[in-house]
C-alpha cells in the first residue's frame, strides 16, 4: 500500500476511533494527489457528521484549502468550516491568528488571493 493510501486509511480509522470527540490531522495533503483532495474532504464531512467528530487539520497547500471549500459548498457544510491562518506581525514578530469563515474563504479563492 502506498503512502497516500496509508494516510487515507489513518484518517478514516482516526475518524472512527474519535467517535464523539476530536480528530487532529497534521499535513492533510501528505502523500495524497491534489486531484482527490475534494473527494477526501467530502468523505471526512460525511463521516465526521455521522460519528459526531470535530476535525482540525493543518496544511501548507492552497490546493487542499480550495478543495475543502469546494467540498463544503457541495455538501452544504459551509457553516461547519473555519480556516485559521497564522500571520506574523512585522514589528513585534508575534504570531496572530486570522479567522476566515466559509464566505470569506470562498471570496479570497475567487479573487485568486493566496490563503495559506
Give the three cell numbers for residue 107.
Answer: 471570496
pLDDT of residue 113: 65
CB 59 within 8 Å of CB 27 = yes
What's the whole-number average pLDDT of the chain? 90
Q: What is the mean pLDDT of residues 14-39?
A: 95
pLDDT of residue 35: 94
Q: Is the pLDDT of residue 116 over 70?
A: no
Delimit the domains of the chain by residue range: 3-81
What CA–CA distance (Å, rounded) separates 100 from 97?
10
Amino acid at each position: 500500500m502506498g503512502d497516500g493510501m496509508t494516510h487515507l486509511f489513518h484518517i478514516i480509522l482516526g475518524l472512527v476511533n474519535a467517535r464523539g470527540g476530536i480528530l487532529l490531522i497534521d499535513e492533510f495533503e501528505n502523500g495524497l494527489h491534489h486531484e482527490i483532495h475534494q473527494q477526501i474532504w467530502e468523505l471526512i464531512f460525511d463521516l465526521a457528521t455521522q460519528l459526531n467528530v470535530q476535525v482540525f487539520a493543518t496544511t501548507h497547500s492552497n490546493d487542499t484549502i480550495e478543495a475543502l471549500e469546494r467540498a463544503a459548498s457541495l455538501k452544504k457544510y459551509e457553516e461547519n468550516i473555519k480556516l485559521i491562518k497564522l500571520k506574523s506581525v512585522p514589528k513585534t514578530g508575534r504570531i496572530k491568528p486570522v479567522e476566515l469563515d466559509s464566505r470569506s474563504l470562498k471570496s479570497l479563492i475567487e479573487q485568486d488571493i493566496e490563503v495559506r
